[in-house]
Structures are given as C-alpha cells and as structure tokens.
Amino acid sequence: WSVNGTNRVGGLIGNIDSGLVDRATSSADVGPGSEQSPGFGIGGIVGTATNSAFSNLDASGDVTGDANVGGALGTATESTVANLTASGDVEIFSTGGGGAIGFGSGNFTNIHATGDVDGGQQIGGLIGTYQGNGTLQTATASGKVNGSNTVGGLVGRASANITAATASGEVTGNQYVGGLAGQSNDTLNDVHATGNVFGGGNVGGLIGENHGDVSNSDATGNVESEGDNVGGLIGFSEEGNVSTT
C-alpha cells in the first residue's frame, strides 16, 4: 500500500506537534503526489514532528521526497526517539535525507536503519541532518549511501553529540564524504565505520570534514578519492581534538 501527498506526508501521521507515539508500525511506501511536487517532510511513519516523543517504531516501506525525507520520520524537531527500526530504501531529490530520519534534533536512543539512501546533499544512512543540544546513542546504519555533498554512512551533517554508533555501508559522494559522517561539528565518542568510502574531496574513512572532538573511534574501510584532503580516518580537521583512534 502507499501514501502520497505534497508536504508533511507520513505512512501513519502527516504532521504532529507535542504528541506521543508508541508501538507504531508501517509498511507503506510514502512519497510525493507527483514528480512536479516532490514535497518536504516525508516519512515512513510520520512526515514532520515537533516537540514530540516516539518509542518502539518499525517502518519498512520505501520513502521518496525532496527535502527532510526519512525512512521513519521526515523531521523530528526538539523530539525524543527511542527504539526505532527502519528497513526501507530512501530517495531524496534535494537536502536532508536519512535511512531513519531526514532532519532531527533532540535525544535519540537505539535507532537502526538497514535501507539504502540515494540522493542530494546532507544525507546519511541513518539521519540526514542532526543538530541541537541532544545526543544520538546506540545507533547503527548498514545500507549503501550515495549522494552529492555532505554524505555519511550514519549522518550527513552532525552538529550534535554522537556516541556508541556504527556505520557499515558503502558511501559514495562528491565533497565532504565520510564512512560515518560527511561533516561533524560536535563531539563523537565510541563511533565506528567499516564501509568503503568513495569521494571527490574532503573524504575520510570516518569523517569527511571535522570541527569537533573525536575519541575512542575507528574506521576500517578503504578510502578512494581523486581529490584533496583525504584520510583513512578524517579528510580535513580543524579546531577539534582527536584522541584514541
């Protein structure tokens, strides 16, 4: 079955504010109403969410959209998410796409995605764009990720803390490409990447471009690039402390 619309489209809920969702499952394929209106805020379970709490979610359908597109949640702003699994493939035309969450801010725990993610910029195997004062912890992503800029096996652009996370999928992009994060601006601890990474410039086995602290982390995949700033762990790092890697 399928659910189609323009903006704020979800397999179960289109838009939720200050709500609670627990023990929800959807196998719907979710996408835009037409190719001319590709839509933003598209998710396998919820399109857009603000100040809400989610727990025990399972999404298995494929999701397609323009911006802020996620296998389970298109956007989850200032929200909490616990125990989420997403297994569908995600296709993103513009910015902000992830195997589980397109755009997120808040505390996210025990989040896992296995589907492939294909599209534009700020895309990740788990979350496309992650920012704010929260923490992402106990997270995995195993799907292949293919995009243009700011592409990561787990998170495309990370501006919040991440701990105890692993990405194992192959990652391909142009600029700012990493096995775990395309770009990181905050603290990463106990994070690991095992997939091969292919990119143009600012390419790393773990992080493409880093502006935060990294500790107790490693990358074991091959890294291939024809550009500059290429590293087995980090392509380019500025103002961040790197230790025990």
pLDDT at 239: 82
SS3 237: strand
Ordered per-residue pLDDT tens for the chain, 245 residues: 899 998 999 999 999 999 999 999 999 999 986 555 668 999 999 999 999 999 999 999 999 999 999 999 999 999 999 999 999 999 999 999 999 999 999 999 999 999 999 999 999 999 999 999 899 999 999 999 999 999 999 999 999 999 999 999 999 999 999 999 999 999 999 999 999 999 999 999 999 999 999 999 999 999 999 899 999 999 999 888 888 77
pLDDT at 148: 96
pLDDT at 23: 98
pLDDT at 37: 61
**Rounded to the nearest 5 degrees, what angle is found at the Cα of 78, between the Cα atoms of 31 and 12?**
30
CA quadruple 17, 21, 25, 30: dihedral, nearest 10: 0
pLDDT at 39: 83
Alpha-carbon distance of 148 to 78, in angstroms, equals 27
The region, left, alpha or beta by phi > 0 then psi within -120 to 50, assigned to residue 182 is alpha
- For the record, the structure tokens of 97 come out as 């796409």
Alpha-carbon distance of 70 to 215, in angstroms, equals 28
